[in-house]
Amino acid sequence: MASIALENITKAFGKINALDDVSLEVKDNEFFVLFGPAGAGKTTLLKTIAGVEFPQKGLVKIDGEIVNHKEPMHRNISMVFESYALYPHMTVYDNIASPMRSKLYKKDEAHIRRQVERVTKMMQIDHLWERRPSQLSNGQRQRVAIGRCLVREPNAFLMDEPLAHLDAKLRHHMRGELKEMQSSFDTTTIYVTHDYMEAMSLADRIAVLNLGKIEQLGTPMEMYYTPNNEFVARLFGEPEINIFDGELTERSGELAVRAFGQAALLPVAPDAAKVLRGGEHRKVRVGIRGNDISFSFDEVPGWLRGSVYVNEPIGNKVILVADVGGVRLSLVVPNDTRAKIDQPVFLSLNMQHAIFFCAEKGTYIVRSNAAQHVSDAPGTKEEG
Amino acid sequence: MAELVLRNVYKQYENTEKSWFRKKKAQKLDFAVKNLSFSCNDGEFIGILGPSGCGKTTTLRMLAGLETVTDGDIYIGETRINNLLPKDRNIGLAFEDYALYPPLTVYDNLAFNMRAKKMSNEEIQKAIDYVAPLLKVDDLLDQKPPSLSGGQKQRVNIARAIVRRPKLLLLDEPLSHLDGKMRQGMRHEIKRMHHEIKCTTIIVTHDQMEAMSLADRILIMKDGELQQMGTPMEVYDNPENEFVAGFIGEPPMNLLPSVIQKEEGTLFFTFENSPLRVEVPKRYLGILESGKKVTLGVRPMDVMVAKQTTAGSYIPIAIYENLGDERRISVRVGDSLMNMITTDNVVYERGQEVQLEFYAERTHLFDPETGKRIRAN
């Protein structure tokens, strides 16, 4: 158990900055997720912490101590690999015992037995001691791989996309397994992924990386409800958040948004209006999620008019993409909805849940009731 | 006009491995495609879906004429095409890797096959003018493939496949090289394109979401055999067997091995190593009896935390996840995790004991031996 701090880390491969002045602090015992698209620098950051890559600038600290020049093996950090890398010819017991039989961490057999007992009980694999990896299910193998890392009581636990190579169905299952045993880790964990569901499900805090820079650092709910910019907003949620251009206008003393070149105005919640009025914004970008749009195939006065671009039945719901004045809006509709391509559709946006971004920079300005969404929103309570 | 019919089609590969001193006898392998029959109507969009090795690409290659047919007939319209050469079948093909000619511009790539057929320049121009806007490649006509993104290349690839207005368009995993966001957009474009040209189209994919969202009807294959064919909602709502049930839908259907037990005159589903008991819905009463083993299937949307106290037992929450768009709960039922998607705004905690309620109408029963669906009377 330890806290990990990175200060102004810069790492370049040739001319390309893989990491550009990255600073972050992972608290003791935290489950911290590094999240971002391919090429964002996630794995490079993880390797820097492990000591496999050396930063050109900046400090890596473990529990306050600078470890830049410590060899990986002296940092007491363990890493779970995507392929689990279990020894195929060893039993589960021997696999888990293996780190304690290495020269560096040599322990006596009685101690090893106690440790293996503790870890296998925690991972619920104590009945599998005599099995070899080939006789285990995928979930059990993952548990063995994690157990092997935990047995040493490392300072921190690094996981690089441990579920990425699995198919969708298995990945879903393994995420559940991981989430379930997460609370028993009792170790600082840094987890790299490009799957937003994994990030939201597992993380205490998330760092969103893009092109070697941190775009946002915060809890999953902060990412989802108050993203720092359009880039972060687009990463979380399926279907992707709709973001469109809007123009602020006053309508009988109330602030509203004109958009899609249509007569229908979109009302702005009073608390958001206050911030928007104060900021000299005339043009804004408005973000609204697919769940926050209502639809009707019959004309409703005051609603936006559009046409069905495509509709995609995906089982428990239908994703309907509407073309509204040349802008595509995706909305989630019930799975018994039938729509024809190009048929007219009428939409109402729940502007209480809209997120306003700066028109020039794409940065976050305001959303109504932000504090409540982030802190009291259902599901934000700490578990356990 | 271009109705496609497959009748009892088989495909068996032969292992014709030769060694230097002796010609080995050709060794017959297992059937890659077994007794496949289906038909698709003119203008229909069909998805062939299955895990790798299920025979879906073999089927497509037989349609294209790239593989011989071991047994059975394939018809396009009135014509039996088994022995026609690929070039005579009037089929458009687009594979997952784009196979564009890198030194040629997009325009020349599109025109290539038509020039080979000695069409006049005006005809070629006309055909390209029609197809290019459909797939939004009209701005790219002067560029060469190396400067295009993956999504653009795939659009050019598909445009080339449809530029000669084939009777049948075959798409082999066209989206699997693209990343998530681009895949979504491309899906929309393909759907619009099909809506516009109304060409009979077959797409092969292993991604159930892709098949569900694109196809009018889906064929689900496993081990060379057809498992089920139907519209997306048919296969979602009424899966014929356990395999289809588990393959379609995300998160997947919960499939729980269960034993029927009678307690105080009421039949319950019971589960090994779990206190969970689920009352047998009325519609199954005629076909189930105490002691029978079944697999109970229920989608994550169709089981929820009970609002009121029920006869069922309490069971602790193993996982609670807030994914923003939705919240998911999982509980342990024996060795497996059962997933639920909640729609209420209640915050649950891990370890909290709750009762569960099943949508009786939307439960499915499967025979644990054969995996076949057990129908209610």
Pair B237, B320 in one domain: no
Instruction: Give pLDDT, residue A384.
Output: 31
Place of tokens 């009428």: A346
Pair B331, B295 in one domain: yes
Nearest CA in chain A to B345: A378
Instruction: Give pLDDT, residue A279.
Output: 82
**Chain A residue numbers touching B301 (CB-CB < 8 A):** 316
pLDDT band of B150, cuts 50, 70, 90: confident
**Which of B247, B269, B292 finishes a domain?**
B247
Pair B187, B271 in one domain: no
What DSSP string describes A25-80? EEPTT-EEEEE-STTSSHHHHHHHHHTSS--SEEEEEETTEE-TTS-GGGTTEEEE
Could you tell me if A322 and A308 are in contact, meaning their C-beta atoms sit under 8 angstroms apart? yes
C-beta atoms of B322 and A378 within 8 A: yes
Closest to A36 in 3D by CA, of A213, A194, A152: A194
Q: What is the mean pLDDT of residues B60-72?
A: 93
- Check which CATH number belongs to the domain holding B341 and give it: 2.40.50.140
Given a cut of 90, whether residue B18 has pLDDT beyond it is no
Given a cut of 50, whether residue A253 has pLDDT beyond it is yes
Instruction: Give pLDDT, residue B58.
Output: 94
Instruction: Give pLDDT, residue B17.
Output: 62
**Chain B residue numbers touching A140 (CB-CB < 8 A):** none
Pairs of CB atoms within 8 A across A/B: 110
C-beta atoms of A341 and B192 within 8 A: yes
The proportion of chain A whose per-residue pLDDT surpasses 90, expressed as a percent, equals: 65
Report pLDDT digits (tens) over A170-216. Answer: 788 888 888 888 887 788 999 999 999 999 999 999 999 999 999 99
Mean pLDDT check: name the lowest of B13-27, B101-115, B175-189. B13-27
Residues 6+ apart with CB under 8 A from A135: none
Q: What is the mean pLDDT of residues A275-293?
A: 91
Closest to A117 in 3D by CA, of A109, A126, A108, A105: A126
Given a cut of 60, whether residue A380 has pLDDT beyond it is no
Report pLDDT digits (tens) over B339-361. Answer: 999 877 788 888 999 999 888 88
Pair B280, B236 in one domain: no
C-beta atoms of A220 and B301 within 8 A: no
B335 CB within 8 Å of a chain A CB: no
Q: Which residue has the higher pLDDT, A166 or B55?
A: B55
Pair B107, B147 in one domain: yes
Q: Sketch out chain A's domains with CATH numbers.
A: 4-229 (3.40.50.300), 242-375 (2.40.50.140)
**Which of B228, B247, B266 finishes a domain?**
B247
Structure tokens at B202: 């077959």
pLDDT band of B178, cuts 50, 70, 90: confident
The proportion of chain B whose per-residue pLDDT surpasses 90, expressed as a percent, equals: 67
Least CB–CB distance from B323: residue in A180, A200, A383: A200
Report pLDDT digits (tens) over A3-14. Answer: 999 999 999 998
Least CB–CB distance from A238: residue in B195, B247, B325: B325
Query: What are the angstrom distances between the C-alpha of B353 and each of B264, B280, B313?
Result: 24, 22, 9
C-beta atoms of B350 and A383 within 8 A: yes
What DSSP string describes A271-315? HHHHHHHHTT-SEEEEEE-GGGEEEESS--TTSEEEEEEEEEE-S
* Secondary structure element (H or E) that encloses residue B61, with its range: helix B56-64
Given a cut of 80, whether residue A77 has pLDDT beyond it is yes
pLDDT band of A383, cuts 50, 70, 90: very low
Q: Residue B278 sits in which domain range?
A: 254-374
Nearest CA in chain B to A379: B347
pLDDT band of A382, cuts 50, 70, 90: very low
Compute the nearest-CA separation of B229 from chain A (Å).
16
Pair B167, B271 in one domain: no
The three-state secondary structure class of B259 is: strand
Pair B15, B110 in one domain: yes
Strands (E) across B162-314 are located at: 168-172, 200-205, 217-222, 225-230, 254-263, 266-270, 277-279, 293-298, 303-305
Q: What is the mean pLDDT of residues B14-30?
A: 67
C-beta atoms of A378 and B233 within 8 A: no
Report pLDDT digits (tens) over B229-242. Answer: 999 999 999 999 99
Beta bridge partners of A305: A346
Q: What is the mean pLDDT of residues B65-85?
A: 92
Instruction: Give pLDDT, residue B22.
Output: 61
Instruction: Give pLDDT, residue B122.
Output: 95
Report pLDDT digits (tens) over A105-134. Answer: 888 999 999 999 988 888 888 889 999 999
Given a cut of 50, whether residue B311 has pLDDT beyond it is yes
Which residue out of A312, A335, A374 would a mutagenesis test of the B interface target, given it has the greatest number of B Cβ atoms within 10 Å? A312
C-beta atoms of A176 and B330 within 8 A: yes
Structure tokens at B303: 């089981």
Which residue out of A137, A169, A195 would a mutagenesis test of the B interface target, given it has the greatest number of B Cβ atoms within 10 Å? A169
Pair B72, B220 in one domain: yes
Given a cut of 90, whether residue A294 has pLDDT beyond it is yes
**Which of B247, B271, B287 finishes a domain?**
B247
Instruction: Give pLDDT, residue A63.
Output: 93
Closest to B43 in 3D by CA, of B166, B171, B212: B166
C-beta atoms of B320 and A383 within 8 A: yes
Mean per-residue pLDDT over chain A, rounded: 90
C-beta atoms of B325 and A291 within 8 A: yes
Beta bridge partners of A158: A79, A190
Report pLDDT digits (tens) over A323-374. Answer: 999 999 999 999 889 999 999 999 999 999 999 999 999 999 999 988 888 8
C-beta atoms of A176 and B319 within 8 A: yes
Compute the nearest-CA separation of A268 from chain B (Å).
22
d(CA A34, CA A45): 9
Report pLDDT digits (tens) over B236-295. Answer: 999 999 999 999 998 899 999 999 999 888 899 999 999 888 889 888 988 999 999 999
Q: How many domains does chain B have?
A: 2
Least CB–CB distance from A379: residue in B300, B327, B351: B327
Report pLDDT digits (tens) over B29-51. Answer: 788 999 999 999 999 999 999 98
**Chain B residue numbers touching A240 (CB-CB < 8 A):** 181, 184
ipTM of this complex: 0.88
Could you tell me if B137 and B152 are in contact, meaning their C-beta atoms sit under 8 angstroms apart? yes
Pair B129, B37 in one domain: yes
Pair B243, B258 in one domain: no
Instruction: Give pLDDT, residue A381.
Output: 40
Least CB–CB distance from B213: residue in A313, A380, A381: A313
List all residues of chain B from 217 to 246 with a beta carbon under 8 Å from chain A: 232-233, 236, 246
Q: What is the mean pLDDT of residues B102-130?
A: 94
Pair B203, B134 in one domain: yes
Q: Please state the separation of Cα A329 from the chain's center in Å.
A: 23
- Check which CATH number belongs to the domain holding B81 and give it: 3.40.50.300
Q: For A363, which DSSP code?
A: B
Q: What is the mean pLDDT of residues B305-315?
A: 79
C-beta atoms of A180 and B330 within 8 A: yes
Compute the nearest-CA separation of A313 from chain B (Å).
5
Pair B284, B330 in one domain: yes
Could you tell me if A331 and A367 are in contact, meaning their C-beta atoms sit under 8 angstroms apart? no
